[in-house]
A and B are shown apart, each in its own frame.
Chain A
């Protein structure tokens, strides 16, 4: 089965592109100034100029949580912790891993399509915990748990595996 791959959202990719375009080169000060002006304009209309280091929050009460350094670091995890961007969304092998993990740990509650059985839906935009919509928010829920049956997966999944599951969840409901 072909697994649909979601493109990274504009929010996380906008910054690197902008930085590349804005790098000073041989085209002269005038062009640089113009690009800077465009960047400034983008900032003022609310589009983030660059990805920011995510703040992980407890879904239950919104307090910031500490996510210590992982035992096994991966480039994707390091990048995620710096930017909030989940590179596994574009990586077929990671999505396959995420699917297998989802089927092992999540499916019985949240259903194979993420629509939820006895537990909340993971797809759509109307979430029990609004932070579910954001990869950093979903990561925090997996890491620290929410309530009742949704206990912490910190002892069950590695942080890198959490990213892979999240990447797969984002393919559902498309």
Chain B
């Protein structure tokens, strides 16, 4: 069993920024009565029905609207208060502190190339998904995007652009071409399960959520295949010379698993032999994921939550403490959340491969032939961000794309277990979220479901929301229609 003690957090921390847990914050860091633990059996995995300690009644306050299929959002955290909303078609819009949206996009990948858009959007899971700002963005102006490339037949592109200081709200066509630095070009076998989100961890490394390459059932066995970049969380060091796309962080779990070496057959432990993973991809941080479309670091602790979108029956929320050394295997395609894959019935029996999630929620039919649920179900987990306000502590907010439900996942220190609560249900189709400069969780919604997709600029517009305690909603603010969980 992997147990992470408070002392372990303090003394054994590979990812957290050094300043996060300084002497002044020591008391806060020591607050949990019992250290969080990764579940070791399926009955320890939280499901809807629990109560998040301290969770208030919540409301979603509209910040801005009129976005074309908004599927990502982030804040630059450069002191400007600007929020950047990613439109699937290939644009990024600036939302100013007062909620006004700049008419000109911050970035437009649809027209810098005279031959047409650089972004493949033919299927609703394709497009521009995410933008991340370098930790030193204020000084270097670096922004990173992840999108499906039209010229490269849908491949995943990780590209850096540089903001011209004289034009802080817009990277024009010339600047796009002049400053583009391609970090990664990951071929995509099928048109779904790209993953999408990219974000810098508190360690300054760029983390990339990469799906299993698509179709269904992981036909390429990408989840357990360490020789491919699909079905992983990748971790790369972007602070390199311009001629070098990126470097492998030395402390990546498979950084040296494929290095040339002399063969020794004797005097080596079995653990030592097992460390040889020939042809393994050193970019891999975690594997066994199906479609980690979104993931978020907790700014306070450095812990990582991953929302891994499930297949037919279960959605999965994974957690890594800041002290993680990486290398976690989340079980896909042997397991789907804490269940067997393929799932066949209610009394399934199968080995649990790798690390269990901390929480899971079912689709309307938790297994084939099950009685359909009326509450607590969804179909696609979109992590929104980690809330540390309004009575919530390290509470991962997750919105569902199908049901409009908002779930919370947190560790209940008194009960020494993970809990999951359906906090409310909205009418919204959640797509993404992040934490703003003030620490509040943002959320976007689209009207862009599979069959209803008319194209990334033809669908009804989506909106940007801020999740606040209901008693802190500004007077006159527009709020999303919600109803309490039943």
Contacts and interface: CB of A to CB of B under 8 A. Distances in A.
A148 B378 contact: yes
B400 A148 contact: yes
A19 interface: no
Contact of A128 (B374, B400, B449, B454): B374
B330 to A, nearest CB: 22
19 contacts: A60-B427, A60-B483, A116-B365, A116-B372, A118-B364, A118-B379, A118-B402, A120-B372, A126-B372, A145-B427, A147-B426, A148-B405, A148-B428, A148-B429, A151-B460, A152-B460, A153-B452, A155-B460, A156-B454
B400 A109 contact: no
A118 B368 CA distance: 11
Given A118-B379, A120-B364, A155-B460, A105 B451 contact: yes
A121 B401 contact: no
B262 to A, nearest CB: 53
A67 B188 CA distance: 45
Nearest to A105: B451
Given A149-B449, A151-B449, 13 more contacts: A106-B451, A116-B364, A118-B402, A119-B379, A119-B402, A126-B372, A147-B404, A148-B402, A148-B404, A149-B401, A149-B403, A152-B460, A156-B452
Contacts of A61: 481, 483
Contacts of B430: 148
B245 to A, nearest CB: 38
A108 interface: yes
A51 interface: no
Interface string A152-167: 1101100000000000
B226 interface: no
B372 A121 contact: yes
Contacts of B460: 151-152, 155
Residue of A61, A107, A147 ringed by the most chain B CB atoms within 10 A: A147
A104 interface: yes
The 5 A-B residue pairs whose C-beta atoms are closest, nearest first, are A148-B404, A147-B404, A118-B379, A149-B402, A149-B449
A128 B377 CA distance: 11
B363 interface: yes
Interface of A: 60-61, 104-109, 116-121, 126, 128, 145-149, 151-153, 155-156
Nearest to A110: B451
Nearest to A151: B447
A79 to B, nearest CB: 28
Contact of B403 (A104, A148, A152, A156): A148
B363 A104 contact: no
A45 B365 CA distance: 40
Interface in B464-486: 481, 483
B425 interface: yes
A146 B450 CA distance: 16
A54 B374 CA distance: 26
Interface in B154-179: none
Contacts of A107: 451
B149 interface: no
B425 to A, nearest CB: 6
Nearest to B481: A60
Contacts of A108: 450-451
Nearest to A145: B427
B465 to A, nearest CB: 14
Contacts of B481: 60-61
A122 B450 CA distance: 19
B312 A118 contact: yes
A151 B452 contact: yes
Contacts of A156: 452, 454
A60 B401 CA distance: 16
A118 B425 CA distance: 17
Nearest to B399: A148
A146 B449 CA distance: 13
A119 B404 contact: no
B401 A148 contact: yes
Contacts of B372: 116, 120-121, 126
A108 B428 CA distance: 20
A166 to B, nearest CB: 17
Contacts of B483: 60-61
A18 B404 CA distance: 45
B306 to A, nearest CB: 21
Contacts of A60: 427, 481, 483
Nearest to A59: B427
Interface in B238-290: none
A118 B363 contact: yes
Interface in B422-453: 425-430, 447, 449-452
Contacts of B405: 148
Residue of B379, B405, B451 ringed by the most chain A CB atoms within 10 A: B451
Nearest to A153: B452
A135 B399 CA distance: 30
A3 to B, nearest CB: 22
B427 A147 contact: yes
Contacts of B428: 147-148
A158 B39 CA distance: 50
A149 to B, nearest CB: 4
